[in-house]
Structure 1
Amino acid sequence: MSESKVDLYAAIRRDHDRNGLSQRALQRKYNVTWRTVRRALDGQWPEPRKKPRQRESRLDPYKQLIDTMLRADLDAPAKQRHTAQRIFDRLVDEHDARDISYPMVRVYVKDRRAEVRREAGLGPQAMFVPQTHLPGAEAEVDFGEFHIVLAGKMTKVYLFALRLSYSGKAVHRVFATAGQEAFFEGHVHAFRMLGGVPRGWLRCF
């Protein structure tokens, strides 16, 4: 469901209930049809966005054959495994696939070979490592350059940023130079603003 449409329906109801806007006024304000206003006021929710139909490809009838070749390669010696060119040649010679091109096969094989290995438990697996941060224990520091318009002139300055990993609270300070003194001063300013020093570690990027 589109979040923007949910927000739109909620705004229409709010303007109608709190501000007393008429349906016609709501149409004009939000540039929508009367049906949209009516659905919102009736307490309906936007319909889920339809997934776009996957485009058909001339390669579709041969993908299962390609997958079979790639799976056979899992147990084959490296020198005997199929290249994209070999797969293309086999499709043409053995299955009369005259309506496909080599680039189509090459692109599919490039992506699918790794997927086949993962499906067989041989490739790198997608993993998620959750991070946990204790309150006041850790912080991250960044010190980089950016440009601002100062007195009508584009000027390079340096931004010091220190962010607490747990709360996400951050302190920023701009400097004219990126010297060690500015780096240290940025830390002192951040610790003063935060009311203390992280008791664990500071990670610099």
Structure 2
Amino acid sequence: MEDFSPKPETRPAQSRSRVEPYARVVDSWLRADRSMPRKQRHTARRVFDRLVAEQGFAGSYSSVQRWVKHWRQEHRAESEGFMELAWAPGIGQVDFGLAKAVIAGVERDVHVLVVSFPFSNMRFCVALPGENAECVCSGLITVFERIGRVPRILVFDNATGVGHRFGREVTMTGVFNAFQAHYRIGEVRFREPVLGS
């Protein structure tokens, strides 16, 4: 063999959609939908049903569904745009909340540390007596033990319990600095309260 480099991947040629012969008809329906109220617009199911009834379509529903989805993505108006939030694995978001709990027969407010992992959409909650640095560290230890690992990055909604905010700057407490070093948390971020990021 003269060349030992790996062979380039060959992709199978994309097959033509069974909906393409009906593209003009479907396109006219979907374009007309833009002037209709949302509840009266065509769903993929409605497009499929009309194609079968009015055009004699013999393809599958899933092919119509894929075609309609692709059409909507290509013809999306700027006002319909959205920004997809993408989170990498190993990032945890941390925030406090309040909950009512009955303790020894008395209803009390309980501080709840909520740690969520947006990549996997998992969340863990720990009830704590307060929102200081010791409580944050104790709650995070409980979560770390439960999941069996430590996230690389922690994003705090605000500096409550782990630091003090002066304008846009956050100074972390000595307790939390030691906690971060001990657990080798690579980065700690704080959301900007004014900008929401």
Whether TM exceeds 0.5 here: the answer is no
Q: Normalized per residue, which structure has more helix?
A: 1
Larger proportion of strand = 2
Which interval holds the TM-score relative to the shorter structure?
0.3 to 0.5
TM-score (normalizing by structure 1): 0.38
TM-score (normalizing by structure 2): 0.39
Larger radius of gyration: 1
